[in-house]
Structure 1
Amino acid sequence: MQVSRLLQMTYILLEKGTVTAPELAERFEVSVRTVYRDVEALSQAGIPVYTSQGKGGGISLTDRFVLNKSLLTDKEQDEILFALQSLSAVRLPDLGEAFSKLSSLFRKNSTSWIEVDFSPWGTGDKQKELYTLLKQAILEQRVISFTYLGAAGEHNSRKAVPVKLLFKDRAWYVEAYSFERGALRTFKITRMSNVQLLEGEGTGLLEFQQVRTASAGTSDEEIKVNESPRIRLVLNIEPAGAYRIVDEFKEEEILKLEDGSFQLISDMPSGEWLVQYLLSYGDILEVMEPESLRLEMKARTAKMAQKYSG
């Protein structure tokens, strides 16, 4: 993200001449200190950028400087543009503008060769705003507060310092230092609500710096799953479930039967999560082994049927 910001900053300085650090900080939603770090990075990269004090002062480029696009080959220019297109998967609003400006600078047509969107259907501006807020918290190492929906349906107030965004198993997560746990934890973004960026929250940040590289970011649910004993499953799944089992199981665990159905043999962690996962297949799945899990599924489905018996 810093490379994209540096390119945009250079373009803005070329276009406007002199810009103040607070203006750039507001534009990129970072701190003034981060802007000055970017200025230093540009200078180290050979861009003749300088700062001036007093009225009319700010950050500028030397008058005779021109961003020489010939420093990049056609292939390198294409790779930069393609990378920006791929990054649009996180739906950050500034990437489209950066892509447009660089396309113009390189004099290249806007060829939309790829489109990746990891966001769920129906998500809108609210989720985009959350990504922007989390990005700011990560870049500035700021504390956030939020309400988190736990696996058992309970709502808990949490404080944390976000470290990075993760996309795993078709969902977005944020890895963050949790003050309640005193360690890095992973939170599913769709379970977070009332997210706020706190002002003047320095308490615990030193502790965060000490443990951030020594602790793995693991969700409470993931800890429970990983610590659960594994059991050998034998499942029969009807042909209608083919699209799911290909996505969710290894090829060597899948056996296609003569009637077009599938038999799956897999080792999976036991627990409530496993029952809920198997129930998500509905009536196209039948547990063959172990017998204890087969009986549990029978009891659960009977209880479900009872709710609709009236």
Structure 2
Amino acid sequence: MNRTTRLYALVEELRAAAPRPRTVAALAARFEVSARTVQRDLQALMETGVPVRTTSGRGGGWSVDPHMTLPPIHFTADEASALTAALATADAHAPYAGAARTAAQKIAASMTGPASAAAHHLAARIVALPARSDSAVRTAVEQAVTTNTVLRLTYIDAAGRESERAVEAAGLLTANGMWYLIAWCRSRQAGRGFRLDRITAATPTAERARAHDLAELLRGSAAADAVRPAPLAALTSPL
């Protein structure tokens, strides 16, 4: 068993045992490797963001939260190559770009032989001119959208006027290479779009935002005809 296969197998072994921990000795015996090799593999998983953790003392060992990981997904070589290229070249200033990069690294690490070579070749032939946006702002926007909380921001509109806003994030819109936060603006008492590169400061709060329908907030705006990207349709269909 090569190391890439063993890393995936380790995660699945911990998922199957969850919430009970597995000791290094037990894992070493299971995969017929040394305890040192298992320790090194578990450390590598932690460094790539896999939520494995260790507890000490009697009954301790290594475990993983099954709700924080996905079971193995079997991509074809073409699918893996396309995903790697798309994720690896994602705009570094786009929302969730950090997660996209680590996802690309995990997919690339799982590929070997012709599939790996094809993915690297394709990614090397794609370039992009990144948009400018503050990373702290981007992180705050990501948090507000993901956790459905109120966001306080400083915004400069197209005329150069600066204002302070408290907004209830509803979603994200991308158009012509730009990203917009679509939200209910408490100051204007209406739905508004805020271009991310015009947000000069953003502070997340713990206050829960009311639920808002994204299509309703866009109604009557220049983005009223916005549609969900086709690759996301499967993720938004009823379970």
TM-score bracket, shorter-length normalisation: 0.5 to 0.7
Show the counterpart of 1:113. Answer: 125
Change in 2 beyond 3 A, CA 1:11/1:117: farther
> Which runs of 5 or more structure 2 residues have no equivalent in the other structure?
1-6, 20-45, 52-58, 224-239
Residue 102 (1) aligns with residue 107 (2): yes
- Equivalences for 1:131-150 in 2 at 5 Å? 131-150=138-157
Shift in Å, 1:157: 1.4
Letter aligned with residue 216 of structure 2: A
Q: CA deviation at 1:193?
A: 2.2
Distance 1:87 1:149 in 2: 26
Instruction: Count the aligned residue pairs.
Output: 167
Contact 1:88 1:116 in 2 (8 A): yes
Distance across 1 between alignment mates of 2:77 and 2:181 = 36
Seen in structure 2, the aligned counterparts of structure 1 residues 146 and 166 have a Cα distance that, compared at 3 Å, is same
Residue type matched to 1:143 in 2? V
Change (3 A) 1:180 1:84: same
What amino acid is the match of 1:119?
A
Q: What secondary structure, in the 3-state scheme, does the structure 1 residue paired with 2:194 have?
A: strand
| TM superposition score normalised by structure 1 | 0.43
Q: For residues 120-145 of structure 1, give each alpha carbon's deviation from its aligned partner in whole angstroms, at most 9, with x where no partner exists.
A: 4xx6xxx2332222122112111100
Distance across 1 between alignment mates of 2:144 and 2:216 = 21
Seen in structure 2, the aligned counterparts of structure 1 residues 153 and 116 have a Cα distance that, compared at 3 Å, is closer
Distance in 1 (CA, whole Å) between partners of 2:91 and 2:9 is: 21
Aligned-pair CA distance for 1:148: 1.8
Q: Secondary structure at the match of 1:181?
A: coil
Q: Distance in 2 between matches of 1:198 and 1:177?
A: 15
Question: How much does 1:168 deviate?
Answer: 3.2
Look up the match of 1:129.
Answer: 136
Is 1:59 aligned to 2:65, yes or no? yes
Cα distance, 1:86 vs structure 2: 4.2
Contact 1:183 1:211 in 2 (8 A): no
1:168 aligns with 2:175: yes
Aligned to 1:188: 195
Instruction: State the TM-score, normalizing by the size of structure 2.
Output: 0.54
1:14 aligns with 2:11: yes
**Shift in Å, 1:106:** 1.7
- CA deviations over 1:2-59 (Å, ceiling 9, x no partner): xxxxxxxx96972893699xxx9xx69xxxxxx9xxxxxxxxxxxxxxxxxx976652
**SS class of match (2:128):** coil
Preserved contact between residue 89 and residue 116 of structure 1 (Cα < 8 Å): no
Which protein, 1 or 2, shows the higher relative CO under an 8 Å CA cutoff with sep ≥ 6?
2
| 2:81 corresponds to 1:84 | no
CA distance in 2, matches of 1:189, 1:79: 27
How much does 1:195 deviate?
A: 0.7
Q: Structure 1's 16 and 84: CA in aligned 2 closer, same or farther, altered over 3 A?
A: farther
Counterpart CA distance in 2 for 1:137 and 1:150 is 21
Q: Is the 8 A contact 2:137 2:200 kept in 1?
A: no
What fraction of aligned residue pairs are identical, expressed as a percent?
21
Segments of 5+ residues of structure 1 without an aligned counterpart are 1-9, 29-34, 36-53, 224-310
Aligned to 1:215: 217
| Aligned-pair CA distance for 1:158 | 0.4
Larger Rg: 1
- Given that 1:185 and 1:217 are in contact with CA atoms closer than 8 Å, whether structure 2 keeps it comes out as no
- The question of whether the paired residues in 2 share the 8 Å contact of 1:145 and 1:160 is answered with yes
Measured in 2, the distance between the counterparts of 1:198 and 1:217 equals 27
